[in-house]
Amino acid sequence: MEWRETARACASRECVEECALVVPEDAWECPFAITETVIDDDNHWITIFALAHVEDWVKIENAEPRKCAGWTFREARDIEAVDAERVFSPLRVMLNACARKVEDARAPREFVANADGVFAPAPRAAV
């Protein structure tokens, strides 16, 4: 994140920089999850995962080929089968933490769990 940048603004900026994908700031559900990962003596990451809907027809491109060889899209439950070295380490940390006791997880009152056990904001009642 840049100085004084919100999580939503950061997510939108990073999508443009890394994927050439424009996602409006108000489209993000933030924070989806936060992980803390110590990589080595010089790298300590705080990663904020955010969720936004993108239509199936939207083209995503690798806008930073010097930094990223590419992506593979998988269901969260299938990440376990992937070689750990090929998975973004903060994602691996988050999924391992979530897998421990997903059935015991409790969401804030304003969130509900869908059929897959994923928490999302509860629908607002019409006023």
Name the residue with higher pLDDT: 88 or 120. 88
Give the H/E segment covering residue 111: strand 111-113
Sequence-distant (≥ 6) Cβ neighbours of residue 90 within 8 angstroms:
35, 37, 45, 47, 49
Per-residue pLDDT tens digits for 70-86: 877 777 777 777 887 88
d(CA 54, CA 72): 16
Residue 2 falls within a domain, yes or no?
no
Locate 12 and state its tokens. 């939108």
Residue 81 falls within a domain, yes or no?
yes
Question: How many C-beta atoms lie closer than 10 Å to residue 5's C-beta?
Answer: 12
Question: Structural domain of residue 62, as residue ranges?
Answer: 7-121
Residue 127 falls within a domain, yes or no?
no
Residue 66 falls within a domain, yes or no?
yes
Per-residue pLDDT tens digits for 23-70: 999 998 877 777 777 778 888 878 888 888 888 888 888 999 998 888
Q: How many domains does the chain have?
A: 1
Alpha-carbon distances, residue 49 vs 41, 109, 113 (angstroms): 23, 20, 17
Residue 1 falls within a domain, yes or no?
no
Residue 126 falls within a domain, yes or no?
no
d(CA 15, CA 63): 9
Residue 58 falls within a domain, yes or no?
yes
Question: Can you give the pTM of this predicted structure?
Answer: 0.65
